Amino acid sequence: MDTKKIERLFLQAMQSSLQNKQVTWEDRLEPDEWLGLFQMAEKHHVLPMVYEAVYCCPAAQKADPQIFHFYKQHFIRSVMMQAMRTNEFGKLFQFLRDSGVHPLVVKGIICRQLYPQPDYRVSGDEDVLVPEEEFDQCRRAMEAFGMQVAGEEQDADTAYEIPYGKPGSSLYVELHKSLFPPESAAYGELNHFFEHVHERAIEIPVGGVPIVTMEYTDHLFYLICHAFKHFLHSGFGIRQVSDICLYSDAYGSKIDWPLVLEECREIHADVFTAALFRIGQKYLTFDPVHACCPRELTAMDVDETEMLEDLLDSGVYGDGSMSRKHSSNITLNAVVAEKQGKKTGSGVLRTVFPSASRLAGRYTYLKKKPYLLPIAWADRILKYRKETSGHKEDNNAAESIKIGNERVGLMRKYGIIK
């Protein structure tokens, strides 16, 4: 199977979907090419968008109908589930407001309503940020609505976010005190840009419900920071590029672009951001003139091709393969070393035995009892072995190191580290 061809077809389908059009492919595609296209769409969590863009084209009429029947079922189920989640979240948001809480919604539903077919842009969860002083009140309101903590119970005093699910529903919400884990040495400092977002909050109508969200400049910079965070881990996918570009196109005239550029420079993400918008312009639907995007950003001398290759391989949040997922320890170590003025290296040993501060996000007891670090190391290794036992085909240590070192080189190319 020609991977480059699949990637080219995938990008064409994405562009057509964002234009609310269908592709016009004439030439017959082999069954493995159709499978490759739909599998890539699943990896990037955009299957409904891609399926809708291709199923009626002339090439699709020549394809094995069984392939399309299988993915049609996925398409229908995904769209139906998303419609139900959106409806349920609207009720939850209103319930929280009526309970005296001031929730602020980011990403997810705010980006989804910018798409030609909102429910085709699926979101597995919704992110809600509340003032820290309202966190406990919001938790009580969530539970009164029927939400329950998902996964292991966390210490509400130390956790920066707590995930909630609703029994009998696919609704899943991450409740945040802050947008990024404060203990992260790699990107915890990003929180200071968003300290006063509640004071600048705005309302956007979504499906008849007024949703409170971040002000336009804050929100665009947050979307960039969120992609940047995942880039420092193991990567991000085409959906995040689409979100950022659609948001910029929709609200560009209301965005303080000089401030966005200044803040991007402060975190060494200006070249990264220029490459991201270049991808949007060349392969999706981003119009820098319509978005009022400054020439200083769009005319920057940047080669976006390696970022494009990386994000296509990455999948939605760097989960394209287990090897890639675990390579994040190398890239994060490189970023932390840079911030601490140390020599940037692969840091293989540090990927196996990270510091207590690095693991405190997952093992919250380390914040109060750092001497339990060896126990966290042992638990982490056991969980790693369990997680990878069923993924031998796409996970091995050598491949993780190779990917990690290549991505450290990519971060140097885009000026994130020296």
Per-residue confidence (pLDDT) for residue 346, from 0 to 100: 44
What integer is the mean pLDDT of 150-174?
87
Query: Residue 387: its pLDDT value, please?
Result: 55
Average pLDDT over residues 336-357: 66
Model confidence at 381, pLDDT cuts 50, 70, 90, reads low
Residue 243: the pLDDT is 98
395 has pLDDT over 80 = no
pTM of the model: 0.89
Q: Does 271 have pLDDT greater than 80?
A: yes
Question: Is-contact 130 177, C-beta < 8 A?
Answer: yes
pLDDT of residue 41: 97
> Would you state the pLDDT for residue 108?
94
pLDDT value at residue 319? 82
pLDDT band of 281, cuts 50, 70, 90:
very high
Of 139-148, 285-294, 343-352, the poorest mean pLDDT is in 343-352
Mean pLDDT of 321-331: 87
pLDDT computed for residue 266 by the predictor? 97
Output the pLDDT for position 351.
Answer: 56
- The domain segmentation of the chain, as residue ranges, is 3-63, 81-311, 321-413
* pLDDT at residue 103, as a whole number: 96
Write 398-404 long-range contacts (CB < 8 A, 24+): 399/321, 399/323, 400/323, 400/324, 400/326, 400/327, 400/330, 401/327, 401/330, 401/346, 401/348, 403/234, 403/323, 403/324, 403/327, 404/327, 404/328, 404/329, 404/330, 404/331, 404/346, 404/351
pLDDT exceeds cutoff 80 at 111: yes
| pLDDT computed for residue 401 by the predictor | 86
Give every CB contact of residue 31 below 8 A, 6+ residues apart in sequence.
63, 64, 67
Give the residue with greater pLDDT, 327 vs 305.
305
| In the predicted structure, residue 70 carries a pLDDT above the cut 50 | yes
Which of the two residues, 276 and 385, has the higher pLDDT score? Answer: 276
Region 71-80: what's the mean pLDDT? 96
Q: What is the pLDDT of residues 224-256, one digit of tens each?
A: 999 999 999 999 999 999 999 999 999 999 999
Average pLDDT over all residues of the chain:
90
Q: For 112-129, what is the mean pLDDT?
A: 96
Mean pLDDT check: name the lowest of 135-144, 254-263, 264-273, 382-391: 382-391
Q: Which CATH number fits domain 81-311: 3.30.1360.30, 3.90.1150.10, 3.20.20.70, 3.30.460.40?
A: 3.30.460.40
* Residue 389 pLDDT class (50, 70, 90 cuts): low
Q: Which residue has the higher pLDDT, 371 or 202?
A: 202
Which residues, including other chains, have CB under 8 Å from residue 262's CB and lie 6 or more apart? none
Question: Average pLDDT of 87-99?
Answer: 95
Q: Across residues 289-309, what is the average pLDDT? A: 95
Residue 353 confidence (pLDDT): 59
Residue 57 makes CB contacts below 8 A (sequence gap 6+) with 22, 23, 24, 25, 26
Q: In this structure, what token pair is assigned to residue 230?
A: 């995942």
Tell me: the pLDDT tens digits for 199-225? 999 999 888 889 999 999 999 999 999
Of the candidates 415, 384, 216, 388, the residue with the CA atom closest to the CA atom of residue 300: 415
* Other Cβ atoms closer than 10 A to 292: 15
